[in-house]
Structure 1
Amino acid sequence: MKKIFTLITVAFLATAVSAQSTWTVDKAHSQVKFSITHLAVSDVDGKFKDFDATIVAAKPDFSDAKYTFSAKTATVDTDNERRDGHLKGAEFFDVEKFPTLNFVSTSVKPNGTNKYKVTGNLTLHGVTKPVTLDVVYRGTITNPMTKGPDAGFKITGTIKRSDFGFGSKYGSPMLSDEVELVANGEFMKQ
């Protein structure tokens, strides 16, 4: 009887330790933005209006998290209709051929208190390349409206558009090769 009790206890603890939680992005309180330098003198900012993101983690500090993200490329918005139309064309996002961009994490490494280096595969313009992003976990609170837990994250990084064959006709200094990414996300536990 003692052996059975021990086995049940071990199985229960193993299940409890490995239980993962899924967190989904609260789109009303999140943004995904980018910035690129134009003519080497001015930064042009943009964002995606339609995106989705999920975090799956077993540990409360998200040190074992798996991040997934997608954005509908046709929702790119730089506050300039003409430029947005150009960005949706074949030279840039080519939204007809590549309607989404995607990121799936492959590893998470600590980089200070509540800070992580998250490496994953970014698919943009039909090309998939590994990228590393900086993630700051801002904490978890009880949302006063929903009464459920919400977690906050800031994600930053820089990619090279040349790695993705993105706007290759426009070299520096017309457009910088480096594109800065900034995402601020509020996630709700499911």
Structure 2
Amino acid sequence: MAFRTPAPSSAWSLDKAHSKLGFSISHLTVSDVEGSFKKVDAKITCTGDDFTDAVVELTADVSSINTDNDGRDKHLQNADYFDAEKYPTITFKSKTFKKLKDNTYAVTGNLTMHGVTKPVELRAVARSGTNPMSKKAITGFKITGVINRIDFGIAPSTPNAMLGEEVTLTANTEFSKD
């Protein structure tokens, strides 16, 4: 019988000052409205330096939505859209973090928004280094993907010509090793 000691797990914490979770969506088929969430937290746990066994967990506070328009932000928080009172957070937890080439990964996981959980696939491009001030290992990920708002019950009766169904997600994140 052989016993294998599991590799020690590494934890990575989000540097909130150097990270942003954003989105864009078509408006009236002629322009894109962009926004972000001001209150986001995330962590990564993994055993290797190449992140191939990483687990990413992210939470965004729906009430922190910011589209640079206070009226629109309040409207997005009401029951017509996100219903922030009933569904105060958006969460993501990865299932796989598969290296495609060099520093590019396919990340699959479950996204929960508006009380609906659906599997999503995202692309992540990593860059790593050492913070010259703290001497801690750091890594950054640019994460992109597209989801359908109707799949999550967001404004299902709003016509696509008025508000696009596809929402492009873009996250620029920086993590430091604990």
1:156 aligns with 2:156: no
Query: How many Å separate the matches in 1 of 2:100 and 2:165?
Result: 26
Quote the residue 1:96 is aligned against.
Answer: 85
Deviation at 1:167, TM superposition (A): 1.2
TM-score for the superposition, normalised by structure 1: 0.90
CA contact (8 A) 2:51 2:97 kept: no
Quote the residue 1:34 is aligned against.
Answer: 23
Quote the residue 1:145 is aligned against.
Answer: 133
Instruction: Pick the aligned partner of 2:125 from 113, 133, 136.
Output: 136
Deviation at 1:108, TM superposition (A): 2.0
Corresponding residue SS for 1:95:
coil
Deviation at 1:154, TM superposition (A): 0.8
Q: CA RMSD in A?
A: 1.5
Quote the residue 2:61 is aligned against.
Answer: 72
- Which sections of structure 2, spanning at least 5 residues, go unmatched? none
Query: How many Å separate the matches in 1 of 2:81 and 2:134?
Result: 40
Quote the residue 2:113 is aligned against.
Answer: 124
- Which sections of structure 1, spanning at least 5 residues, go unmatched? 1-6
Structure 1 or 2: larger strand share?
2
Deviations 1:2-49 (A, max 9, x none): xxxxx9xx87xx44x611100010000000000000000100000000
Query: How many Å separate the matches in 1 of 2:60 and 2:90?
Result: 5
Q: 97-106 or 112-121, which moves further after superposition?
A: 112-121
Query: How many Å separate the matches in 2 of 1:138 and 1:147?
Result: 16
Structure 1 or 2: larger helix share?
1
One-letter amino acid matched to 1:186: E
Quote the residue 1:56 is aligned against.
Answer: 45
Deviations 1:87-116 (A, max 9, x none): 000011111000100000111222221111
1:174 aligns with 2:159: no
Query: How many Å separate the matches in 2 of 1:85 and 1:169?
Result: 19
% identical equivalent positions: 50
Corresponding residue SS for 1:18:
coil
Deviation at 1:138, TM superposition (A): 1.3
Paired residues, number: 178
Moved over 3 A (4+): none
Quote the residue 1:109 is aligned against.
Answer: 98
